[in-house]
Chains A and B, each alone.
Chain A
Amino acid sequence: MTAQTPVPSKQKRPFFFRRGPMENIATGLIGLGFLMLFQPFLLIFYTWSLVTLLAGTLMFIIVSKFPE
């Protein structure tokens, strides 16, 4: 009976340009790299820790500039 006002559909940003999830991924990478750097179990994890840390840190620096 009542006429509904059409709500304009909000333009969603692509996943890779959304700050929230991308920041979470970057944070996860940094955490993982940090654990790999200091873990006492496998040398191979230690070897690849810098790459993981660097990827996470650079990603964090970039995605933290995205709008909310």
Chain B
Amino acid sequence: MTARIRERTGQFFRMRRFKTQVKSVTDTSSTILGEAVARATPAPIASRIRGLSDRSMAWLFITPAIALLLAVNIFPLIWAIYLSFTNFRANRPNAALESVGLSNYSRVLNDPNIWQAMQTTAHFVFWTILLQTLIGFSLAYLIDRKFRGHAFWTTIILVPMMLSPAVVGNFWRFLYQPQIGLFNHIVSFLTGIPPSSFEMLGSVRLSPWAIIIVDTWMWTPYVMLICLAGLRSIPDYIYEAAEVDRASLWRQFWSITLPMALPFIMLAVLFRGIENFKMFDMVTLLTGGGPGSTTEVASITLKREAFESWRTGRASAFAIILFVAVFGLANIYVKALNKVKQR
């Protein structure tokens, strides 16, 4: 017994000595590194920096980021607002700009085609978000059970998210082929309908759903990942306490899992909502807005106005309307998110 205590005490002191040595080595190396950096700084700059306050130093470090933000985000936004009040055409960049007042906004807000594009966008955003949230959360709930090989399946599920939209769009075009496409053959196998009797991308009724299926397939893993982070953040002792209280699994899900994962689900919905309002690449690759204008979402109409009809001023007004809509919605959504977090 005494020998064991002596051995444990020895181990403890050896470990403490080792930790002290590691700490001293780390401190020494960071000091050496700091001194090397200080030596490498040219003398005039070093003397100038030494005289700066903490606040000035902070400004010095964030100035490049702010400058980049202004150049890449804020300036184009202000420029687009300015162009939305003019008759600017991108094919005539040197023509004199004339102010047209609110005429561009008035035309956009009275155009039935643009109104139709807004409805198509709303349909697309609503269904993709609903499906992605439901499937994504269900998958996250399953993966969180930590069954055998869950890490492997997580990786497999995440693959679509890692692919480029250009690749996804191209191979789904093949999958949707009526004669040779795998999708049509699977539907045929399950329902008995002949595979070449329906065309997912060429049908007015089915083409919006074809895009919704592809977007859901591609982005559900993203929602799943965020939901999984939410589920993993729930401490085990809450479930243990619920089990002690003999709460059923259903009750545990409604009273613990869902409320505690809700901020994460809301965050995923916000991210996907903003992204889907801007959806352009996938629709262009799959249908190009067709057949007719069935799948012409707002961003495709905007591009056509700006670079096919060359009414760039009007397209800018349309872009600003979309921006105001998303910005306003994001504001109230963040407010709701904060309320949920505070509960």
Contact = CB atoms under 8 A, between A and B. Distances in A.
Tell whether A and B belong to one assembly: yes
Interface in A3-24: 23
B interface: dominant SS? helix
B328 A34 contact: yes
Given A43-B110, A47-B109, A50-B109, A37 B332 contact: no
Interface residues of B, number: 18
Interface string A26-42: 01001101100111100
A60 B328 contact: yes
User: What class of interface size applies to chain A in its complex with B?
Assistant: 20 to 34
B130 interface: no
B109 A49 contact: yes
A61 B324 CA distance: 12
B253 interface: no
A38 B119 contact: yes
A25 to B, nearest CB: 12
B324 A57 contact: yes
A56 B328 contact: yes
Given A33-B328, A54-B324, 6 more contacts: A30-B331, A37-B118, A38-B121, A43-B112, A47-B110, A53-B325
Interface of A: 23, 27, 30-31, 33-34, 37-40, 43, 46-50, 53-54, 56-57, 60-61
Interface of B: 105, 109-110, 112, 115, 118-119, 121-122, 321, 324-325, 327-329, 331-332, 335
12 contacts: A27-B335, A33-B325, A34-B328, A43-B110, A47-B109, A50-B109, A50-B321, A53-B328, A54-B324, A57-B324, A57-B327, A60-B328
